[in-house]
Structure 1
């Protein structure tokens, strides 16, 4: 309901529409070359074009309207649908971008049991992000037909999504403000909006990662295969939401930017550098069912742990009295995803 509409409030709303599209076109080639080794040199190369669009559309008028209903003189209801306020026409937004990429992947066996591969990728965005380069080096050695060791080192890149920059929403929650427990209307502000900039938001930078993995494969019987891989991912400039910024100064900034009935705000930032350690264990077993065919059993286990190496604490605009990455924001990085996962299946 929208309490500011009084008894005229509807019970159902369309609070807004968020539309994301992606169109990808690939052209790939692969060929083996005889260079005098027992196995050919494998070369893959290709091109890619990707177009992305993102749009935020307004919801029903009743979902964001301020109807002016007052419970008593001086005690007027807050505007907008509870618990999620609607998107107003002033908050509508849209953007699109194009990127082109090329890659080459080369792999060969210097000796019959040793494989070495490398890959390189170049990508260019037409706005904001610019050009990026990433690469990978991988190797595998088969000690026996049943046992092999493998390792990979690579660097990665992820451009800020259009949603990271344009997403907006307003909600109601409860918390303590100035020592008083009360309802809080807060908004997720588009990073490029005037309100977010006034609260210290900056243009988002790409995330960059360095990845290491080491593992083995084991085939103790014809029907059973086991794999284990340990990995470390160092992620720089991780994109995440700030904590909810609250206080009189924040409320005034929002009012100055035409956002009323909202006492807090948050936005996406390059908030932290993190390190994730993990272990993947996978087993596959093929069972012969005779005249009924065959069944492949799979068990997959994952353990991972993410640690924040450093995080952004404050902005020069708001000062140190406002904590950008509070405990809740940090927990979204380290505590929301399950530490362990087990998947069992049969096919």
Structure 2
């Protein structure tokens, strides 16, 4: 049997692209039908796929000069409750998915590639740049503030496959493609379709999940196609919480309710979610040599999640409204769309591709079951407009390519590709209603009705609030008029790419790209050199050398908010905290040592082997080093620890004393080293069907090579800008090792897919190193059993994390009064335990 992948509708070029052996491994791991006839002895290298990585070159799997993994639509649909980004992390060992489980960051979850945040992996759809989201990264693992692409707003029903280039591609696709490229290929058939529905829930009954998905291919004109897709999902909230310890005060000293309350101080977890996505992909021949193409996606997502409890004994409390405290709700609505129009064809011996695409992501925040305590009992309990963030992107591309049998001084085959790109971006934020950020005149009465001291008044005085409550709508991201942003950027780029074949066994790729950013007046040049040489018919060596440049994102430059959260202070006590994220150029940030952000400079080095010792066996091994200078992160929270230094600066700027301040800064120079190993083998069992085995391993380690120092005048006052916790996010928060082991057994009408993943040890560091926590490695096992009732109808049952494994429970060890904060840390897998589902699918 010869496997030939569906031809890629490559919107960047009309010429096919490359793949690799490691891509084949995972493509076949869980794909029923992909290896239905394993009795055929055709070698793996005959498999031809059309893919990402070398512009304008068709190559077989065994010829790949760079590591690319391929995930097909069947695999994506078998990841149970996962959305698109989590599904990628479940299938690929070099990817990890952060579990943000609290507040308004719960829908912005970082998908890291080779230990690097999502800002360093470029996302394409049909070879064209996907627009970014509006919400900056701000979770417990990724605090870069970069606004990554929200993959979950791409219809999963529209995806034919996903091609993941795990190597520098800055010179080919854009200077921000430091860790690689995710290329989402949309379905392009002109007939047939797929319908499916699924239902599932967690083992404890939470997180009920319902999905509907469908797609249909239609012919368009003479030789064209229109493929439409839609999916919808509803997921109920799943709490991840634990009790605060017995010493934790939910009520004032002497209040008898302290002895009877349940000590549940938070309801973190997955948000309640309702979402739908729509999409189409189309292509129409105009002449024998010219085609016009287009695609579009549209998505809406409404999420609701509880924030940390505001205790009855806290400065966020208004007893007349909520005598026992309250659990605020964050409401987040995302609206997202992208539309592309292009044409491609031949002009003489050249192939050309011209396209334009526009995309927008809009993120709106509101809140329920909360108050602005400064208005006392008169405060509203719902705020319909807290903040809105919007990101727009318009991209225009012209790409050309041509094959030459030889050129002067190059007496062998050469393929030349070149292109121009213009990218316009705009980041805007819009202020919410005044009642969310304004400050009322309410102060706690000094005495209660019975004449005794009011403990809330005394607590306020001790907290530096002079008898008043905490300011602003609680548990909310709030934008004030003075914080509104409206930033624009134009990026102009040109690239040149050569694919050389000096001999039948030797391939050389050379690419260069120049870019200009008009807002920061920076020019950059990115270079990529990669090569592959066949040592024998079954063994080849490959390597890559590349450079990159990532300009500060518009969100890192312009994001400014007031955020009413809870935080753990220097004494380990959970307290309400009004936190300002200030822009680097603001007076507030500069007072605490901020300066203009510098671009990040990157260098990549990769070296690998591909080996096919037998007909149905393949092995790839790829090592890599990625250096990033001037890496941008959020500073630690700067607040007064009792010596008055911070409050003095705040007072001089007219900012409320007791506030916490942070800003984005060039914090570290880092080096990331790693290794990817992928093994694949097929075993025919005759009457007992066949099994495809796979093992994939990633080792990844980041070290700090340099860091910015706190200005001397601030350090003398005990103020630290970049602390221990920020370093831990880079070097310890993601697992250093990850195994993905799987088997796909097909026998007659049954397909059984078993996968187990080992996530290595992770750590959560605090500003106070005594509060660092460690979480042991865990094995997570997934199972899917499918039965073909007819040739068109398939029923499936399955489970993710079928052995109900949880992360270690490990509280804040330095805290004298643990409030149940972060009991599970920041695990690289869902902390909700086992999830079970059933699915019915119909193909026509």
Q: TM-score, normalised by structure 1?
A: 0.89
Going from structure 1 to structure 2, the CA distance change for 1:154 and 1:72 (only over 3 Å counts) comes to same
Quick one: distance in 1 between partners of 2:737 and 2:572? 38
Provide the aligned length of Structure 1 versus Structure 2. Answer: 345
Unaligned runs of 5+ in 2: 1-369, 447-465, 745-752, 754-844
Residue in structure 1 matching 2:525, options 133, 154, 158: 133
Quick one: distance in 2 between partners of 1:242 and 1:161? 16
Partner residue, 1:35:
406
Quick one: distance in 1 between partners of 2:646 and 2:729? 22
Partner residue, 1:240:
633
Q: Does 1:302 align with 2:694?
A: no
Quick one: distance in 1 between partners of 2:712 and 2:677? 46
Going from structure 1 to structure 2, the CA distance change for 1:287 and 1:156 (only over 3 Å counts) comes to farther
Residue in structure 1 matching 2:391, options 20, 25, 42: 20
SS at match of 2:470: coil
Quick one: distance in 2 between partners of 1:217 and 1:326? 42
Task: Report the Cα offset of residue 325 of structure 1.
Answer: 1.1
Superposed CA deviations along residues 126-171 of structure 1, whole A, max 9, x for unmatched, are 1214101110111111122322110111111100000011112323
Q: Does 1:314 align with 2:710?
A: yes
Contact 2:470 2:576 in 1 (8 A): no
Task: Report the Cα offset of residue 281 of structure 1.
Answer: 2.3
Task: Report the Cα offset of residue 114 of structure 1.
Answer: 1.3
Quick one: distance in 2 between partners of 1:133 and 1:19? 30
Going from structure 1 to structure 2, the CA distance change for 1:342 and 1:63 (only over 3 Å counts) comes to farther
Contact 1:238 1:270 in 2 (8 A): yes
Return 328-337 or 316-325, whichever deviates more: 316-325
SS at match of 1:63: helix
Superposed CA deviations along residues 249-292 of structure 1, whole A, max 9, x for unmatched, are 333433444433652211111111111011122345578999xx
Partner residue, 1:274:
670
Task: Report the Cα offset of residue 20 of structure 1.
Answer: 1.7
Superposed CA deviations along residues 51-89 of structure 1, whole A, max 9, x for unmatched, are 111112112323222222222245211111223351111
Task: Report the Cα offset of residue 218 of structure 1.
Answer: 1.7
Contact 1:38 1:112 in 2 (8 A): no
Going from structure 1 to structure 2, the CA distance change for 1:343 and 1:30 (only over 3 Å counts) comes to farther
Going from structure 1 to structure 2, the CA distance change for 1:308 and 1:176 (only over 3 Å counts) comes to same
Quick one: distance in 2 between partners of 1:174 and 1:223? 55
Contact 2:546 2:605 in 1 (8 A): yes
Return 130-139 or 190-199, whichever deviates more: 190-199
Residue in structure 2 matching 1:46, options 416, 419, 438: 419
Quick one: distance in 2 between partners of 1:5 and 1:45? 62
Residue in structure 1 matching 2:472, options 65, 80, 83: 80
Going from structure 1 to structure 2, the CA distance change for 1:85 and 1:44 (only over 3 Å counts) comes to closer
Going from structure 1 to structure 2, the CA distance change for 1:10 and 1:288 (only over 3 Å counts) comes to farther
Quick one: distance in 2 between partners of 1:149 and 1:304? 21
Q: What RMSD, in angstroms, separates the aligned Cα atoms of the two structures? A: 2.9
Task: Report the Cα offset of residue 244 of structure 1.
Answer: 1.2
Quick one: distance in 1 between partners of 2:387 and 2:694? 42
Q: Does 1:102 align with 2:494?
A: yes
Partner residue, 1:229:
622
Contact 1:196 1:267 in 2 (8 A): yes
Going from structure 1 to structure 2, the CA distance change for 1:258 and 1:137 (only over 3 Å counts) comes to same
Counting only pairs closer than 5 Å after superposition, residues 1-347 of structure 1 correspond to structure 2 as 1=370, 2-13=372-383, 14-35=385-406, 40-73=413-446, 74-169=466-561, 170-176=563-569, 182-247=575-640, 248-260=644-656, 263-284=659-680, 300-316=696-712, 318-320=714-716, 321-343=718-740
SS at match of 2:444: strand
SS at match of 1:203: coil
Quick one: distance in 2 between partners of 1:270 and 1:323? 14
Contact 1:314 1:324 in 2 (8 A): yes
SS at match of 1:80: coil
Quick one: distance in 2 between partners of 1:278 and 1:214? 11
Q: Compare the two structures and name the one with the higher strand fraction.
A: 1
Going from structure 1 to structure 2, the CA distance change for 1:220 and 1:52 (only over 3 Å counts) comes to same
